[in-house]
Amino acid sequence: MRQRFQLPEGVIYLDGNSLGAMPRAVPARMHRAIEQEWATGLIRSWNDADWYPAPQRVGARIARLVGAEDNEVIVADSTSVNLFKLLVAALRMRPGRSLMLGERGNFPTDAYVAQGVAEITGTQFRAVEPDEVLAALNEDVAVLALTHVNYKSGQAYDMAAVTRRAHEVGALVIWDLAHTAGAMPCALNDCEVDFAVGCGYKYLNGGPGAPSFAFVARRHQEGLRQPLTGWHGHARPFAFTHGYEPAPGIDRMLVGTAPQLGLIALEAALTAFDGVDLQALRAKSVALTGLFIALVDQELGAHGFGLATPRDPALRGSQVSLTHPEGYAIVQALIARGVIGDFRAPDILRFGFAALYLGHCDVWNAVAALKSVMAEGDWRKPEFMARKAVT
């Protein structure tokens, strides 16, 4: 499967959890989209190149990776915008309740969006510690919104158990699959999940700023009222009527004109999953993250690293996070040696293991490089300690 990706020489890429590597299928497809479909086909390509149904078609490809069916997943907008739509829609389905529940350590945009929803809807957003989530579920909670795999620690929730408990108190559940989709199997329908959002540019490898996806369980689609009522979510967008009337099914999650260039790149990228057994992908991922932890234990014991990710593979996604007070500079020094991970404030060194394009050898070499960085102390150089705009 590694041959399906174009990776630079001399780089071990452990940041596919932030921006996935480029699948080789992308450039030729984009060339065709730009030179033929846009430049030559022009406006006709909305019909002739099947641009118009792309959000649904790409959604169906993602549905297979997250345990959903066709017409339960659609690609649109950003993860933040999709979360806004679904939080409001969920609140509207629980009119007697006014509480959104989340987790304090969640990726910030999820908290920020919930704060924005609380303000505009006059409801409340409460964020608790991860181990307090189940106890905080009660009949005031309209919707529980969690990220399945934590962006910092790599820790994964038990999706089935948490969803079941939320449903027991009558709450709806939104899972953010940013660090799940494409990294590990996910069984949205088997877990009876209500809604989900996810990211196109991490383990799905759709390219920088790729559009996001949203899942709405079929049982909720006809009752869904999301607030961003744009023309592409209308029942008859080309009738150009004055009054909004939501499209049947998942299409009502659409807002404006779909970002075709991003959609086309994402669609081509998803062919990297063709024929991939997600259980085998998971087994490889667990082997890679397990080996990394074992080698860090064995090789780096003297250098003051902590482990932020659970040792039990059932409790983690496809990343391993270390802690170190000099984490920022260490990550920069490691990048200079060709091993690309990233840093998350205040002290997290993140290493993502995209099992489609990484092997055990990469893990050995990455740990060896980290050991050299620490032994030789090159992270102390000023150029590694100066912060960049994007960390």
Interface residues for a copy of itself in 120-139 (CB under 8 A)?
120-121, 127
- Return the range that interacts with a copy of itself (CB under 8 A); candidates 153-161, 334-342, 360-368, 378-386: 334-342
CA distance 101 to 125: 6
- Residues 72-131 binding a copy of itself (CB under 8 A) are 77-81, 84, 88, 104, 107-109, 111-113, 115-117, 119-121, 127
Q: Which of 280, 294, 345, 375 binds a copy of itself (CB under 8 A)?
A: 345
What residues between 8 and 27 interact with a copy of itself by CB under 8 A?
8, 11, 13, 15, 18-19, 21-22, 26-27
By CB under 8 A, name the one of 175, 195, 201, 273 that touches a copy of itself.
201
Minimal distance in Å, beta carbon 116 to a copy of itself?
4
Contacting a copy of itself (CB under 8 A), which of 3, 95, 135, 238? 238
Q: How far apart are CB 355 and a copy of itself at their closest, in Å? A: 17
176 is an annotated ligand-binding site residue: yes
362 is in an annotated binding site: no
Grouping H, G, I as helix, E, B as strand and the rest as coil, residue 234 is strand
Give residues 210-229 in contact with a copy of itself (rule: CB under 8 A).
210-212, 227-229
**Per-residue H/E/C for 44-79:** HHHHHCCCCCHHHHHHHHHHHHHCCCCCCEEECCCH
241 binds a copy of itself (CB under 8 A): yes
Percent helix, percent strand, percent coil in the chain, to nearest 5? 45, 15, 40
Point out which span in 182-190, 234-242, 284-292, 293-301 binds a copy of itself (CB under 8 A).
Answer: 234-242
User: Cis peptide before 108, with omega less than 30 degrees from 0?
Assistant: no
3-state secondary structure 160-204: HHHHHHHHHCCCEEEEECCCCCCCCCCCCCCCCCCEEEECCCCCC
Please list every residue from 289 through 318 that binds a copy of itself, using CB under 8 A: none
On whether 180 is known to bind a ligand per the annotation, the reply is: no
β-pair partners for 8 = none
User: Do the annotations mark residue 109 as ligand-binding?
Assistant: yes
The full DSSP string for 269-321 is: HHGGGTT--HHHHHHHHHHHHHHHHHHHHHH-GGGT-EE-S-SSGGGB-SEEE
Q: What is the closest distance, in whole angstroms, from the C-beta atom of residue 364 to a copy of itself in the complex?
A: 21
Residues with a catalytic annotation lie at 107, 176, 201-202, 350
Closest to a copy of itself by CB, 107 vs 273, is 107
Q: Does 249 bind a copy of itself (CB under 8 A)?
A: no
- Shortest CB 33 distance to a copy of itself, Å: 8
Q: What are the backbone angles phi and psi of residue 314, rounded to the nearest 5°?
A: -65, -20
Q: Is 145 helix (H, G, I), strand (E, B) or coil?
A: strand
Burial group, residue 279, by CB count within 10 angstroms (0-12, 13-18, 19+): exposed
| Least spacing, CB of residue 217 vs a copy of itself, in Å | 22
**What is the footprint of a copy of itself within residues 145-164 (CB under 8 A)?**
152
Which tokens sit at 182? 């494409």
Report whether 110 belongs to an annotated binding site. Answer: yes
Supply the DSSP symbol for 132: G
| Interacting residue with a copy of itself among 344, 357, 366, 369 (CB under 8 A) | 344
In the complex, the smallest distance separating the C-beta of residue 88 from a copy of itself, rounded to whole angstroms, is: 7
User: Are 177 and 339 spatial neighbours (Cβ–Cβ below 8 Å)?
Assistant: no
Specify binding-site residues for pyridoxal 5'-phosphate: 79-80, 107-110, 147, 176, 179, 201, 231, 257
